[in-house]
Amino acid sequence: MPRFDHPPRIGIEDPVRPLANAEFEQIRELARRTFGLHLPPGKQELVSARLQRLVRNGGFRSYHEYYRHVLSDSSGEALMALLDALATNHTSFLREPDHFEFLRKSVLPALARRHSIYIWSAACSTGEEVWTLLLLLQDALPASRFLVIGSDISRKALRFAARGVYPADRVSALPRAWQEFGFTRETHDPDSYSVKPALRERAQFRRLNLIEPISWPARFPVIFCRNVMIYFDQPTQRKVIANLSASLEPGGYLFVGHSESFSGIEHGLEYVRPAVYRKPHEKGGRPWTATSWSV
């Protein structure tokens, strides 16, 4: 008969009680109210798995205890940690490349005579879209001054974006000339590349919640807000589109994800092509020109 110096631990009970339906509803409502994130009923297991580490590390015995902690944390850090756990920060360089080709051929030529060009990358996640836009601007309009502002609600994603260090296999998706202009190999990690200072100084990153009113010193000729509205319900989508439209100059372009549709939503924008919309010019007015930004 086998002997054990330490008896085997059989049937150890998990100290955290499973996510109950009522607890899931509490978290669903909190995510919807604070971030606009739509979690349909079928996402209960996903929510449980993504929050499990926060619940265990915090020493909570149930998801309800954790939920009450998030509500009582006046610093907002617990709420941000919950968002970071639930958010899907998936993106890549040159994602949906036809958007960048349309921007190069049909939008940027009309902006070439401006003193400065400003583009907003809303819901920029870990920053790949920001750097892709900057590399495109540098390639298409090398004599122009430009700035790309990346925003996201996730502090974790923004820290990654601002750091600007990416695995080599992700950078390799870019054209060779863009790789050489924009990136340098990390000395301590040859499998990673960091954004060069010349490109980095043309980017800004800000934390923004798209469902809240947004104020900018001037409006943008181009806004990218792709693959985020699929996570919102229709009333929230309507609110986000209104906020984006208000930040867009007359004649300016809004790029959304190819999987996103404005069907059934009143928005006042003109359809240009799949996933591209344009704000109509104001009646009797001239195209608006940015004058209030500083680089």
Q: What is the pLDDT of residue 280?
A: 95
Whether residue 64 sits in one domain with residue 133: no
* Domain harbouring 261, CATH code: 3.40.50.150
Whether residue 194 sits in one domain with residue 68: no
Rg of the chain over all Cα atoms, to the nearest angstrom? 23
7 in a domain, yes or no?
A: no
CB 174 within 8 A of CB 93: yes
CB 148 within 8 A of CB 116: no
15 in a domain, yes or no?
A: no
142 in a domain, yes or no?
A: yes
46 in a domain, yes or no?
A: yes
Residue range of the domain that includes 46:
21-86
Whether residue 206 sits in one domain with residue 106: yes
* Domain harbouring 73, CATH code: 1.10.155.10
- Plot region of 177 (φ>0 → left; ψ -120 to 50 → alpha; else → beta): alpha
Whether residue 81 sits in one domain with residue 49: yes
Sorted by sequence, the CB contacts under 8 Å of residue 175 that are 6+ apart come out as none
65 in a domain, yes or no?
A: yes
Number of domains in the chain: 2
Can you give the pTM of this predicted structure? Answer: 0.82
Pairing between strand 276-278 and 248-255? antiparallel
Sorted by sequence, the CB contacts under 8 Å of residue 138 that are 6+ apart come out as 181, 182, 199
pLDDT by residue, tens only, the chain of 295 residues = 334 344 444 444 567 789 999 999 999 999 888 888 888 888 899 999 999 999 999 999 999 999 999 999 988 889 888 888 887 766 889 999 999 999 999 999 999 999 999 999 999 999 999 999 999 999 999 989 999 999 999 888 999 999 999 999 999 999 999 999 999 999 888 899 999 999 999 999 999 999 998 899 999 999 999 998 888 888 889 999 999 999 999 999 999 999 888 888 888 999 999 999 999 987 644 444 444 444 4
295 in a domain, yes or no?
A: no
